[in-house]
Amino acid sequence: MRARRLWSAGVLLLVALANRAGAQMPAPKQELRLVVQADLGDVTISRHIFGHFAEHLGRCIYGGFWIQDKSGNWTYNEAVIEALRRIKVPNLRWPGGCFADYYHWRDGIGPRAQRPPMVNVVWGGVTEDNSFGTHEYMELVRRLGAEPLIVGNVGSGTVAEMAEWWEYLNHPGGSSLAELRRKNGHPEPFGVRYWGIGNESWGCGGNMSPEYYCDLLKRYATFLRPMGEVKPFIIAVGPGGEDYRWTEVVMREAGRHIAALDFHYYTINGTWEKKGSATQFGEAEWFELMQRALHIDELLTRYSAIMDHYDPRNRVALMVGEWGTWHEVEPGTNPAFLYQQNTLRDALVAALHLNLFIKHAERVRIANIAQTVNVLQAMVLTQDGKVVTTPTYHVFDMYAVHQDAVRLPIHLDAGVYRYGEAQIPAVSAAASKDASGRTHLTLVNLDPREGRTIRAEFRGRSFSRAKGRILTAPAMNAHNTFDAPNAVKPAEFTGMRFEGQELVIDLPAKSVVALELE
């Protein structure tokens, strides 16, 4: 009895001391289990799910990739290209987006001084001089080491116009269009395979019904003939958000004519009419964004199920041609230019998406984050000759190890992140084995307040060494600026240790961690 009274008094004393100091007793970290089947896996993670998007929008092309020198001549932004080469950009989707269905390719070839200007009626009504066209784009992707992915004009174009663009790019020689290409400085065919037939035809691309679009799709596809060794990889307009009927109709009516279905999904706070700020937010907005980002898992599952019904051999890829966060523009900027900052929160959303694309790698074989420079969830921001990389850029750098690697099966106890009465999984993960036999593990902790301890078991292989990098910051809204370009950047991660055959990982709050095991 006396011992019990002494024990109770001790507990009360500890509580009183903690309260007097204004402190809370720290809650123990959730300990979660992860099993990685390190000797299994038969699905290759396509490098193309790490693709990017460059639309004629705001300062993505003009003022981003394409800048004027001191003499007023247009040239490539070498600093941007150098930065993007480091993250191994696999493909670059161009010229849009909504802009694609207004773009007429012949206006963007030939001597630049003779090209007719155009008004970008979709994005701000600005005048473009068409100095950036087909040849400039093809040179850009060559410099990036990326593959071209072109979206053709269905909304205001014609079958003949698209077929002639295809021939201009790909005919090996002997046609008038191949001769025109040679005259414009490129005797050899460009070898473009990836080809989108329209963009968002259910909306800005024409407000079409799926049945009407399918008729157009089959007609346009008929006239994209193989040329030389190049065969078209035809990409159909897919759904936006939750549109299961569009998916059903396109797969039923035109699935045999296509190689991919292009699905678009943006993650926002608030509503489309009144989105939240990119940098001014609290945990409520943080939680909402993570919750909405996680919803893409359900969408990919449901769209894959529809495609499985019409394409049981898994021939048609599910492409996520536009994805990422969409916030209100930065104060004082043109609202039509969609220029937004990019915080640690955006980086976690990106890492979560990439883990989920890897989870669905059987179907998801192409994806393009929107957009590459100065627009929406950009990799790079530019201003007055300066270039700053964003937290999202660093995620793509950390995840490049998964490109063309073999996905390893995992089982994760994801834990729970609670906010108010709602809850979501706390942790996301993906694992792969690259061509050199190295095993890679990427982890995301969505909880901005609490860390998690992961006990990882690797079956089929033994490891004795691990190294890693971490992306995190003290504040949820931490971001890089031109005055402080390294506020959020990866650092060496040492928060792991081997205990027998298990790797114990102390995963901090609001963090992305990438590990390599040997």
Cα 347-394-472 angle, rounded to 5 deg? 55
Q: Is the pLDDT of residue 359 over 70?
A: yes
Residue-level pLDDT at 378: 98
Arithmetic mean of pLDDT, 176-196 = 97
In terms of domains, do 262 and 311 share one?
yes
Q: Residue 421: is it exposed, middle or buried by C-beta count within 10 angstroms (0-12/13-18/19+)?
A: exposed
Residue 176 CB neighbour total at 10 angstroms: 11
Residue type, 188: E
**pTM here?**
0.92
CA torsion, ordered 143, 146, 147, 149, to nearest 10 deg: -90
Q: Is the pLDDT of residue 6 over 60?
A: no
Q: Are 388 and 346 in contact (CB under 8 A)?
A: no
> Domain of 90?
46-403
Q: Is the pLDDT of residue 11 over 90?
A: no
In the chain, what percentage of residues exceed pLDDT 90? 92
Catalytic (active site) residue 322? yes
Distance of CA 338 to the CA centre of its chain: 17
In a domain, 315, yes or no: yes
In the chain, what percentage of residues exceed pLDDT 70? 94
Q: Is the pLDDT of residue 28 over 80?
A: no
pLDDT band, very low/low/confident/very high, at 425 (cuts 50, 70, 90): very high
> Rounded to whole angstroms, how far apart are CA atoms 92 and 149?
6
What is the per-residue pLDDT across 447-474, written as a single tens digit (0 to 9) for each? 999 999 999 999 999 998 999 999 999 9
What is the per-residue pLDDT across 137-164, written as a single tens digit (0 to 9) for each? 999 999 999 999 999 999 999 999 999 9
> Rounded to whole angstroms, how far apart are CA atoms 16 and 477?
35
pLDDT band, very low/low/confident/very high, at 501 (cuts 50, 70, 90): confident
Residue-level pLDDT at 16: 38
In terms of domains, do 360 and 272 share one?
yes
Last residue of a domain, one of 403, 438, 464: 403
**Tokens of residue 442, six digits:** 């990427």
Last residue of a domain, one of 369, 403, 437: 403
Catalytic position from the list 128, 167, 288, 322: 322
In terms of domains, do 355 and 475 share one?
no
Arithmetic mean of pLDDT, 216-234 = 96
Residue-level pLDDT at 24: 33
Arithmetic mean of pLDDT, 291-306 = 98
Q: Is the pLDDT of residue 10 over 60?
A: no
Catalytic position from the list 136, 164, 167, 200: 200
> Rounded to whole angstroms, how far apart are CA atoms 508 and 470?
9
In a domain, 11, yes or no: no
Q: Are strands 466-471 and 511-517 parallel, antiparallel or unpaired?
A: antiparallel
Instruction: Cis check for the bond before 110: say yes or no (omega within 30 of 0).
Output: no
Residue-level pLDDT at 320: 98
Q: Are 224 and 232 in contact (CB under 8 A)?
A: yes
List of E strands, 358-493:
364-369, 380-383, 386-389, 406-407, 410-412, 416-419, 422-425, 427-433, 439-445, 452-459, 466-471, 491-493
Beta-carbon-side half-sphere exposure of residue 283 (alpha carbons within 13 Å): 13
Q: Are 48 and 366 in contact (CB under 8 A)?
A: yes
User: Residue 366 is part of a domain; what is its CATH number?
Assistant: 3.20.20.80
In terms of domains, do 278 and 421 share one?
no
Residue-level pLDDT at 29: 65
Catalytic (active site) residue 211? no
What is the per-residue pLDDT across 474-487, written as a single tens digit (0 to 9) for each? 999 999 999 999 99
**Whole-number mean pLDDT of the chain?**
94
Residue-level pLDDT at 20: 35
In a domain, 8, yes or no: no
- Kind plus residue range of the DSSP H or E element containing 351: helix 344-359
In terms of domains, do 418 and 355 share one?
no
